[in-house]
Amino acid sequence: MAFVARRLVFYVVAAWVAVTVNFLIPRLIPGNAVTVMMGKYPALQPAAEHALDVLLGVGKHNGGIVRQYFSYLGDLLHGNLGTSLSQYPAKVSTLIGQSIPWTLILVGTATVVSFVVGTLLGILAAWRRGGWLDQLLPMLTFLQATPYFFLALLAIDAFALHWHVFPIAGGFSNGLAEGWHWSFIMSAVDHSLLPAITLVVTSMAGWMLQMRNVMITTIGEDYVLAAQAKGLSSRRVVFTYAARNAILPNIAGFALSLGFVIAGALIMEIVFSYPGVGQLLYNAVTSDDGPLMQGVFLVIALAVLAASLIADAVYVVADPRARRQAAY
Amino acid sequence: MALARLAQAVTATRAGARAAWRALPTKARVGAIFIGVFAFVAIAGPYLAPYDYTATIATATGATAPSTAHLLGTTSTGQDVLSQLLVGTRSTVFIGLLAGVIATFLSVVVGVSAGFLGGFADEGLSLLSNVFLVLPALPLLIVIFGYLPTAGNVVIAFILSLLGWPWGARVIRAQTLSLRSRDFVAASRETGEHTWRLIFFEILPNEVSLIAASFVGTVLYAVLSSVGLAFLGFGVGGSSWSLGTMLYWVQNQDAIQVGAWWWYAPPGICVALFGMGLVLMNFGLDELGSPRLRAAASKKRIGGRAWRLPEPTRVLRESRRPRHLAGIRPHGGGAA
């Protein structure tokens, strides 16, 4: 019970911190949102300044910072994230809503594939200790240490520019209407293959290494030896005795990385000009779009929290010891 | 007399250092050599650079391939790539190491206090590190550096370390928690040692490999994040010239599209080699901590033949790193 209470306090505090950091972000901008808008549309009359001030809720006419904070919290409770400055009349929530599916489908699939393949390879490497797969590990460290964007750029150059196997960038071919029809879906899949492959290749090594290392410790346990001595088949020993216990840290890591699905592949989206959440955040930052920046950051932070909650729940189900432990 | 003793002491430390070096797993040794080379370039690089890395050639008609005048060729504006590389390494290594030092210091202070003091202090500090842990670092960094377009190396390192300490703090706290209840700590507490002595002479020496591993991990995170951020164009406007800045210009001036491999490959490979040195170092330290991961330990050559020795009798330890904490780093999160 103490565990649950402690976690609840954590989620409340973490959510509050995320919301507050988010509130402070646009207030740190040197020039405020109104001046950005005034600069963006030179045709605006000086009298429009007041109207913008009220509309955006960031100017001096909106009372002190404390009052702004509470009205911001009120807006959040109503799901009102404000209006984008760089894509003016569009609501921030609409823009985020448009980009989330792209990120979620592509990065989500890549994360799952990389987790499954990496974990299986890790099991294999540990079981065939010193085999060719195990020998290959130092090579994988090279992939892990290379900046992702560098590999991605090389991949674009080789596969898209030279051999024309994949499209260069974007989420779908120009001129196609978005919607659930065949040509659009095929185009989207075609555009997502290269980003997905680069993501899987670079993130797989991490899962593999972790699985291998925990698995090696588990294989040394007496119950694994006992299972082998009983004459059980290798497959049974590997999967239901050793791997089943060794997979716990990987599962915990996986649940957490699901939260970073929305945040994590930011650089991928920028390199491939993929129309996802990361690209949206990048555009917001480079065009001084405070409300949009705020909204995206909040969504990302809350997604991570939600995933962490799932990770907790999964862990308690998967490992009975976690229920007793006050490890957090 | 004094000289002889000094000489003896020097030989002793040398022998000690050599023994320590030999005790390191091969991976850690290879990693250390990589890191050492980069540390050397970081210190001496700017003095070794044959040209001013900013100097352009007015008559340049695009990037030129390596020649005797320019060993790694030039950029499209005629800047010497080798000089850029030698100068840029300094910033990247400096940011990584400084961020590593600050973040490790923070995580040791928070982790040890939380684990050792327990009670409310533990609750509070654990809460703090968990909150920092779920703040999405890369988006936050992008937002922060969006406001600091001309941040220098020190500022970059400071901000990176501010977001990079909680992983280490969590692991160190768990280890401190388990060490605190061991007999040898209880024994020295009974003999009346005060808290500071317990922490500095009983707890910390037993966490050295863990602290070192967390330091190396943080340096890797800081290097990859700073390079990634510079690549995206954050912090490029400042005075700092790093490998990340080089990659930013590579992308900006289409070095890859024009096939100028001498221009785009070196900075990427340098970051990868430095990072690989750090990863290998981390593996080595991990093997030092849990010998079962060491492949070499279980093989011995006798009479020219490799023999697989039985596993050494295992000593039951109350606690390894708690299993569900062992090295959980989301692979996407820091993938800069």
CATH of the domain at B242: 1.10.3720.10
Q: What is the percent of chain A where pLDDT is above 90?
A: 2
With respect to residue B270, please indicate whether it lies within any of the assigned structural domains.
Answer: yes
In sequence order, the β-bridge partners of residue A192 are none
Task: Kindly state whether residue B52 falls inside one of the protein's structural domains.
Answer: no
A159-163, B171-175, B318-322: which range is least confident on average?
B318-322
> Which chain A residue's Cα is nearest to B257?
A157
Query: Residue A115's pLDDT is what?
Result: 92
Mean pLDDT across A221-246: 86
Cβ distance B335 to A315 less than 8 Å, yes or no, reads no
In this prediction, residue A284 has a pLDDT band, given cuts at 50, 70 and 90, of: confident
pLDDT of residue A176: 65
Contact list in A for residue B139 (CB cut-off 8 A) is 263, 266, 278, 281, 296-297, 300
Whether B232 sits inside 8 A of A267 (CB atoms) is yes
Report the pLDDT value the prediction gives residue B295, as an integer from 0 to 100. Answer: 53
Closest C-alpha to B91, from B249, B214, B252, B236: B236
Number of structural domains in chain B: 1
Chain B residues in contact with A9 by the CB 8 A cut-off are 127
Q: Kindly report the nearest CA distance between residue B32 and chain A, in angstroms.
A: 15
Which amino acid, one-letter code, is at B241?
W
pLDDT at site B319: 40
Confidence of residue B6 (pLDDT cuts 50, 70, 90): low
Partners of B311 on chain A (C-beta within 8 Å) are 220
Name the residue with higher pLDDT: A264 or B256. B256
Q: How far apart are alpha carbons B85 and A146 in whole angstroms? A: 16
Does the structure show a pLDDT above 80 at A321?
no
CB pairs under 8 A between A and B: 190
Angle among Cα A11, A16, A17 to the nearest 5 degrees reads 100
Burial A180-213 (b: 16+ CB within 10 A, else e): eeeeeeebbeebbebbbbbbbbbbbbbbbbbbbb
Helix, coil or strand: residue B25: coil
The answer on pLDDT for A88 being more than 60 is: yes
The pLDDT of residue A212 is above 70:
yes
What angle separates helix B137-147 from helix A290-318, to the nearest 10 degrees?
160
Nearest-CB residue to B336 (from A114, A147, A301): A147
CB contact under 8 A, B272 and A6: no
Q: How far is CA A152 from CA A141, A146, A202, B115, B279, in A?
A: 17, 10, 10, 42, 21
Residues contacting residue B149 through CB under 8 Å, at least 6 positions apart: B234, B235, B237, B238
Taking the CA of residue A159 and the nearest CA in chain B, the distance in Å comes to 12
- Report the pLDDT value the prediction gives residue B329, as an integer from 0 to 100: 43
Q: Give the nearest partner residue to B331 out of A146, A206, A293, using CB atoms.
A: A206
Q: For residue B161, is it within any domain?
A: yes
Q: What is the pLDDT of residue B296?
A: 45
Least confident of A125-129, A302-306, B149-153, B330-334: B330-334
Q: Which of A17, A210, A327 sits opposite B325 (nearest CB)?
A: A327
Average confidence (pLDDT) over B119-133: 83
How close A167 gets to chain B, by Cα (Å)? Answer: 15
Give the model's confidence band at A214: pLDDT under 50 very low, under 70 low, under 90 confident, else very high: confident
CA distance A281 to A259: 17
For residue B288, being part of any structural domain is answered with yes
Secondary structure (3-state) at B13: helix
Helix (H) / strand (E) containing B194 = none
Q: Is residue B136 part of a domain?
A: yes
Residue A295 to residue A299: CA distance in whole angstroms: 6
Q: Above 50 in pLDDT, residue B324?
A: no
Q: Is residue B63 part of a domain?
A: no
| Bigger pLDDT: A27 vs A117 | A117
Distance between B232 CA and the closest CA of chain A, angstroms: 8
| pLDDT value, residue B321 | 42
Segment A276-297 mean pLDDT: 83
Instruction: Answer whether residue A253 shows pLDDT above 90.
Output: no
Q: Nearest residue on chain B to A12, judged by CA atoms?
A: B131
Mean pLDDT of A65-73: 78
Q: Which residues of A are less than 8 Å from B280 in CB distance?
A: 138, 141
Distance of CA A239 to the CA centre of its chain: 29
Least confident of A43-57, A179-193, B185-199: A43-57
> A217 and B271 in contact by Cβ < 8 A?
no
Position B98 scores a pLDDT of 93
Residue in the structure block whose two tokens are 């963006």: A40
- Whether the ipTM is more than 0.90: the answer is no
Instruction: For chain B, give the mean pLDDT.
Output: 76
Substitution target from B323, B325, B329 for chain A, most A beta carbons within 10 A: B323
Q: Is residue B113 part of a domain?
A: yes
Amino acid at A161: L
Chain B partners within 8 Å of A13 (Cβ) = 127, 131
Tell me the per-residue pLDDT of B54-107, one tens digit each, with 9 for 90 and over.
777 766 667 777 777 777 777 777 788 888 888 888 888 999 999 999 999 999
Average pLDDT over residues B29-46: 88
Q: Is residue B105 one of the residues assigned to a domain?
A: yes
Mutate to test the interface with B, among A250, A260, A287 (most CBs of B within 10 A): A260
User: In the structure, what pLDDT confidence band is assigned to residue B330 with cuts at 50, 70 and 90?
Assistant: very low
Q: Residue B101: its pLDDT value, please?
A: 93
Report the pLDDT value the prediction gives residue A309, as an integer from 0 to 100.
81
In the predicted structure, residue B16 carries a pLDDT above the cut 80: no
Residue B300 burial by CB count (10 A; 0-12/13-18/19+): exposed, middle or buried? exposed
Which residues span the domain enclosing B88?
Answer: 25-46+71-325
**Higher-confidence position of B88 and A2:** B88
Nearest by Cα to A127 from A216, A230, A201: A216
Q: What is the mean pLDDT of residues B9-17?
A: 70
What does pLDDT average to over chain A?
78
- Residues of B within 8 A of A146 (CB-CB) are 268, 271-272, 275
